Structure 1
């Protein structure tokens, strides 16, 4: 049988990459491309990261790279990983490894020069593909090429044992299924279902990172449905009780051409109230900005004037509300078009301008400013001449009959 080779790809021509691989002994068979770059090239999709595997130990890798004038950073020496810093971007080089011990979260490794042994410790067959940097010759020890052709995500070896080694592989199984798979591998699915409670031992940061990546994968809806049916979320996100809202949101995104967004899709998946959304955001260690956005997405419907909503809560959150709540397709499209390319204006008026009109300094100024702002929004952000007219009328009324602290417009809805 003819030797299969890696197709030509732009990333293989990156400046400095050939010098890097030659320094690491590509001509002697001492290094190979591995993992995502090989997999994604075979699938014809863009490559994000380049990883190298090498029989050289980390000290030898660093010595060779420095001798070749390539900057190197020891990013993970305990696991045999260093990062070569090229002008075209970083490339990780990792010494071949085998697991000595694992506890479901961390692994102790020993270095090896056996390519098959290194491949055996990787999670899925489609991630254990290697390619010669010079010739592109492919090396496949566990049927990864056949699985890739069949769009099948399959554990290397016994799935239960692989999950026991690293519990995160449960979520990785579903994430890779959502990105690359057509149907779940039955043995892998059964193992993930049986060991779902192992997820409780993981840090919430690791769970968050995998979940957010999964939610924007092409097959997210189908895979989330599968996870719900098999109780995968129950140990760590029991609030996820269904996938229908996520499916509707994804359909709306496609209708308007919105870029898939993990926080918006998480809000759809949770379908909860703001207080609960904040608690979940804290549990998943979301950033403060992400938690606030998750709360706003859960705080109300997307009805009303889209630009008014965007002014109140920000464009991103207004888009979230629209995509999560609007069921009428023409209304959704029209509302989305109002937001695309629209620069959110600022009220062309200050409290000082109201004082100059004769309003006494104090809380009445803030209340008058709010009333002016409410009318300005209701009139769809007219120009400064109209704002001046509104201000004159509000100030005149305030001087004649002071504004009650409770007189804010019912349409305000500040959040």
Structure 2
């Protein structure tokens, strides 16, 4: 039987305490931690499955003095707050009914039955917490080796249980896939219209997870060609796909980490109203909405030739967005901290200017010259103020 290779997280003392509390024969590590460890990748989140009912999980954790949070008791999930990071513990389940958005479940004691309700074979791998032996009920290990993302059982049935699995399929394909599962791809294309019934927040979040991967270009192009992307991002056309590919390459060349919001901006037309409408539709935060709108106005910004001025006026994040989106090098911002103008309105009032609009006008005039001169020190700012006051007389 295949085993999970030893990893740092499998040797954590706090997890050993958790295993002791639940009993090794009553729990397994499951999902992403098992999959990513098998691939030799880093692990962020750790999930466990257990035959214990949620109330029993809470009781056992309390007895072991491990704090718990009832994050989803109706679905069997309890979060154990361990010293080096939380662990989600979910009772084995089987679906009773689903409507494509949510499921009613019954608790189970059958590991295979629990695996059968999961989405992809590579996510249905269970590892014994002591022996690290892997239970693989649907060929997930072979699919990992082949770089294949495959639905468990009938792809259409899995998608009808939860329509978001269409977008999850493409995200996992972009991350792990090198071999296409044609049946899964076709099922996603056929059932793409069902994405319209999902919560917009869920769609937006899943899109960000996909776009933030190292290189999702081919996957996003395929989503568009298969008719999946137009359902959730109808604003995207061929030009947007090309701009997206160019941006991903530019990020890599500049050594800038992938950014889902910047990449979403590349996919959209360079029109602020379009960006704002999309952000509203996907229920994105006001901060993201402003960032997308700023990125959409990239072709009209007068500071593009001066990266530091751009960063001062818009913030470093948006400046990097605009520079990369317009084919410019953001290297001028490497290690550069946005400065603070060493002049306050009170200093202008102290020079005899009455408080009010004139103070603001002078402050803005000094600031504009300070930016143009490359943010000189306080001594030069004092001279600029003298010039502004002299021009007032």
Distance 1:81 1:364 in 2: 61
Q: Number of residues paired by the alignment?
A: 388
- Given the alignment, which residue of 111, 118, 126 partners 2:107? 111
| Match of residue 357, structure 2, among 345, 356, 363 | 363
- Higher alpha-carbon deviation: 184-193 or 298-307: 298-307
Post-superposition CA distance 1:15-35 (Å, at most 9, x none): 211121122121xx2211111
| The one of 179, 186, 189 aligned to 1:190 | 186
Greater C-alpha Rg: 1
1:84 equivalenced with 2:80 (yes/no): yes
Which has the higher mean CA deviation after the structures are superposed, 192-201 or 365-374? 365-374
CA distance in 2, matches of 1:17, 1:107: 30
- Whether the 8 Å contact between 2:298 and 2:325 is mirrored in structure 1 is no
- RMSD, aligned CA: 1.4
1:280 is paired with a residue whose SS is helix
Report how far residue 298 of structure 1 moved. Answer: 1.1
User: Does structure 1 conserve the Cα–Cα contact (< 8 Å) formed by 2:307 and 2:333?
Assistant: yes
Unpaired segments ≥5 residues, structure 1: 400-415
Counterpart CA distance in 1 for 2:384 and 2:127 is 70
* Map of 2:165 onto structure 1: 169
Q: Secondary structure at the match of 1:239?
A: coil
CA distance in 2 between counterparts of 1:236 and 1:257 reads: 30
Residue 319 of structure 2 corresponds to which residue in structure 1?
Answer: 318
Q: Is the 8 A contact 1:104 1:166 kept in 2?
A: yes
Output the CA distance in 2 between the equivalents of 1:348 and 1:89: 43
CA-CA distance at 1:398 after TM superposition: 1.7
What aligned pairs does 1:97-136 form with structure 2 within 5 A after superposition?
97-136=93-132
Distance across 2 between alignment mates of 1:71 and 1:200: 39
Matches within 5 A, 1:165-244: 165-242=161-238, 243-244=241-242
Residues in 1 aligned to 2:97 and 2:233: alpha-carbon distance in whole angstroms: 29
Offset at residue 393 of structure 1 (A): 1.5
Matching residue of 1:7: 5
TM-aligned CA deviation for residue 127 of structure 1: 0.2
The superposition leaves residues 125-170 of structure 1 with CA deviations (integer Å, 9 ceiling, x where unpaired) of 0000011111011111100000000110000011111111100000
Q: What CA distance in whole angstroms lies between the structure 2 residues aligned with 1:360 and 1:90?
A: 58
TM norm structure 2: 0.96
Q: Given the alignment of the two structures, is residue 269 of structure 1 paired with residue 248 of structure 2, yes or no?
A: no
SS in structure 1 at match of 2:229? coil
- The answer (yes or no) to whether the contact 1:15–1:88 under 8 Å persists in 2 is no
* Cα deviation code 1:25-71 (max 9, x no counterpart): 21xx2211111010000111111111111112112222222222222
Asked if residue 68 in structure 1 is aligned to residue 64 in structure 2, the reply is: yes
Gaps of 5+ in 2: none
SS in 2 for 1:193: helix
Equivalence for 1:247: 245
Paired with 2:308 and 2:46, the residues of 1 have a C-alpha distance of 43
Contact in 2 for aligned 1:246/1:269 (Cα 8 Å)? yes
Q: Is the 8 A contact 1:177 1:219 kept in 2?
A: no
- Asked if 1 retains the 8 angstrom alpha-carbon contact of 2:268 and 2:274, the reply is no
Contact 2:215/2:248 (CA < 8 Å) preserved in 1?
no
Residue by residue, what CA displacement relative to the aligned partner does 1:309-347 show, whole Å, maximum 9, x if unpaired?
Answer: 1111111110110111125xxxx1xxx232111111111
Corresponding residue of 1:402: none
Q: Which residue of 2 aligns with 1:304?
A: 305
Verify the 8 A CA contact 1:357 1:392 in the aligned structure 2: no
TM-score norm. by structure 1 comes to 0.91
1:181-208 per-residue CA deviation (whole Å, 9 max, x = no partner) reads: 1133100000000111100000011001
Match of 1:257 among 255, 258, 262: 255
Cα contact 2:270–2:298 (8 A) shared by 1: no
What do the CA deviations read for 1:286-305 (whole angstroms, capped 9, x no partner)?
Answer: 11111111111111247311
Residue 309 and residue 65 in structure 1: after superposition, are their counterparts in 2 closer, same or farther (change >3 A)? same
Q: Which moved more, 1:148-157 or 1:352-361?
A: 352-361
